[in-house]
């Protein structure tokens, strides 16, 4: 395990380019591998999670050629095929859940596994709809934790499926499995989650329509093989969140974030921070949203999980809440418990380590802010297998009074040069 010490930063005046969006990177690789012919992908994330997906599509028969700044993926004319090798998804929940759907339509047995963290994560949420499509999925115990075996078939059954708990990964697994289904696939969700799969399937020539209702969405897809095309991956908003918050919390903070993907389900954290009093500018560009943030005095607010679907940015927002004046309520945050670590417990531990008072009530918790990051206690934090907890601890130490992080190598799963960007301004 690697231990990283972050000192209190003297200033944070920086121009930050985040890695290519992780969700779009995984999907671009998978869609390119499914297509017949060559696709060029520019701006792919250089994190280990996306590297896992890149290796696995090659195990399934796609070719990947790396060039400076882009990769060329060629999907085999006759389609991907099963391999007896284990598909090692490492720490990546998106790799394993989307792939379980993708391999459902490739005849034969597929073996998927991952690291100690992934082996604790439930796969029943994707196994349930796939079984309804006639595809047998087997994992360990009642929640189907990895290793997982999928018995893929040429034509899974068409399905109309309501995703019971908002999850972009489950929605996407059903759509991927549906690409070779016997009939239409309809997926509904009560909370709109990131739309990357729908958007990208449409761009790859798949006939797919999407209708919003109340807070939810209904998606209908006609099965067809995706077409090869060129993909551009914009910057990752979830990674930008760490630097926007650093710009706001540091007493000498001023940050410019290069254009990021601006899907509404991904940038809810910006609205939350603006509501807390954050001095943030949003500048639309042809390649996504440029964001600027500077030192701000924040006040507490209430944050509901549906404002931050998938709750990826919540640990970083907990750090903002600790620096705010007043109380911040985090509501309906149960999904945090089944991420790369139990982020509910870890976020509470992080806030307490900084010296903030935290109360827990079921799936809600409240943080009483310390009024400024300068009041944070110097602390140490263990974040093995959880990149977002390690990065949240790092920005807290940098804006506050230092931190020692063990398990800091986890950051490489999504953002290999994160520490360098944080500490070199
Ligand atoms: C992702 C979905 C999210 C999120 C993850 C990426 C995706 O999980 O946590 O980082 O790319 O589909 P949910 O399935 O809980 O929405």
d(Cα 356, Cα 370) in Å, to the nearest integer?
6
Same domain? For 287 and 371 the reply is yes
What amino acid positions are annotated as catalytic residues?
Answer: 312
Q: 145 has which bridge partners? A: 140
Tokens found for residue 312: 């990826």
Same domain? For 384 and 283 the reply is yes
Of 199, 224, 249, which marks where a domain is finished? 224
| Residue 228 Cα to ligand 1 middle (Å) | 24
| Residue 304 Cα to ligand 1 middle (Å) | 17
- Name all residues whose Cβ lies below 6 A of ligand 1: 23, 94, 167-169, 172, 193-194, 310, 312
| Residue 326 Cα to ligand 1 middle (Å) | 30
**Residue 86: HSE in the Cβ half-sphere, 13 Å Cα cutoff:** 10
Query: Which residue has the CA at smallest separation from atom 13 of ligand 1?
Result: 167
Our measurement of the distance from residue 281's CA atom to the centroid of its chain's CA atoms, rounded to an integer in Å, reads 24
What range defines the domain where residue 198 resides? 22-224
Pocket test for ligand 1, best of 21, 91, 169 (most atoms within 8 A of CB): 169
Tokens found for residue 16: 């930050």
pTM: 0.98
pLDDT per residue rounded down to tens, the chain (425 residues): 999 999 999 999 999 999 999 999 999 999 999 999 999 999 999 999 999 999 999 999 999 999 999 999 999 999 999 999 999 999 999 999 999 999 999 999 999 999 999 999 999 999 999 999 999 999 999 999 999 999 999 999 999 999 999 999 999 999 999 999 999 999 999 999 999 999 999 999 999 999 999 999 999 999 999 999 999 999 999 999 999 999 999 999 999 999 999 999 999 999 999 999 999 999 999 999 999 999 999 999 999 999 999 999 999 999 999 999 999 999 999 999 999 999 999 999 999 999 999 999 999 999 999 999 999 999 999 999 999 999 999 999 999 999 999 999 999 999 999 999 999 98
Same domain? For 185 and 302 the reply is no
Question: Of 56, 121, 61, nearest to 87 (Cα)?
Answer: 56
Q: Give the CA radius of gyration of the chain.
A: 21
Any idea what the Cα angle at residue 16 is, between residues 2 and 42, rounded to 5°? 90
Q: Is residue 229 part of a domain?
A: no
Same domain? For 39 and 150 the reply is yes
Query: Which residue has the CA at smallest separation from atom 9 of ligand 1?
Result: 310
Q: Is residue 173 part of a domain?
A: yes
């Amino acid at each position: 395990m690697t231990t990283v010490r972050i000192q209190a930063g003297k200033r944070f005046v920086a121009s930050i380019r985040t890695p290519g969006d992780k969700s779009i990177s995984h999907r671009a690789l998978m869609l390119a591998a499914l297509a017949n012919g060559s696709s060029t992908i520019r701006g792919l994330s250089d994190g280990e999670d996306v590297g896992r997906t890149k290796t696995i599509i090659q195990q399934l028969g796609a070719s990947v050629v790396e060039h400076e700044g882009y990769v060329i993926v060629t999907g085999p004319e006759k389609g991907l095929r099963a391999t007896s090798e284990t598909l090692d998804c490492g720490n990546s929940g998106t790799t394993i859940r989307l792939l379980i759907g993708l391999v459902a339509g490739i005849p034969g047995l597929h073996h998927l596994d991952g690291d100690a963290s992934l082996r604790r994560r439930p796969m029943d949420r994707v196994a349930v709809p796939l079984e309804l499509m006639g595809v047998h999925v087997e994992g360990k115990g009642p929640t189907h934790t990895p290793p997982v075996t999928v018995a893929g078939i040429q034509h899974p059954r068409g399905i109309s499926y309501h995703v019971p708990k908002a999850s972009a990964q489950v929605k996407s697994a059903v759509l991927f499995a549906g690409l070779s289904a016997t009939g239409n696939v309809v997926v509904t969700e009560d909370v709109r989650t990131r739309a990357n799969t729908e958007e990208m399937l449409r761009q790859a020539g798949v006939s797919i329509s999407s209708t919003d209702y109340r807070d939810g969405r209904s998606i209908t897809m006609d099965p067809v093989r995706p077409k090869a095309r060129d993909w551009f991956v914009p910057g990752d908003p979830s990674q930008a969140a760490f630097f926007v918050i650093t710009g706001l919390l540091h007493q000498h903070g001023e940050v410019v974030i290069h254009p990021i993907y601006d899907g509404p389900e991904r940038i809810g954290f910006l609205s939350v921070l603006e509501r807390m009093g954050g001095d943030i500018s949003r500048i639309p560009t042809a390649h996504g949203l440029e964001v600027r943030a500077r030192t701000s005095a924040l006040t507490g607010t209430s944050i509901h999980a549906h404002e931050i679907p998938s709750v990826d940015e919540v640990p970083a927002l907990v750090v903002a809440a600790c620096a705010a004046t007043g109380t911040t309520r985090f509501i309906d945050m149960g999904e945090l418990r089944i991420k790369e670590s139990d982020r509910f417990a870890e976020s509470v531990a992080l806030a307490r380590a900084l010296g903030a008072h935290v109360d827990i009530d079921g799936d809600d918790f409240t943080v009483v802010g310390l009024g400024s990051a300068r009041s944070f206690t110097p602390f140490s934090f263990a974040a093995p297998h959880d990149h977002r907890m390690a990065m949240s601890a790092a920005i807290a130490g940098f804006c506050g009074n230092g931190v020692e992080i063990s398990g800091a190598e986890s950051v490489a799963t999504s953002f290999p040069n994160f520490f360098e960007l944080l500490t070199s301004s």
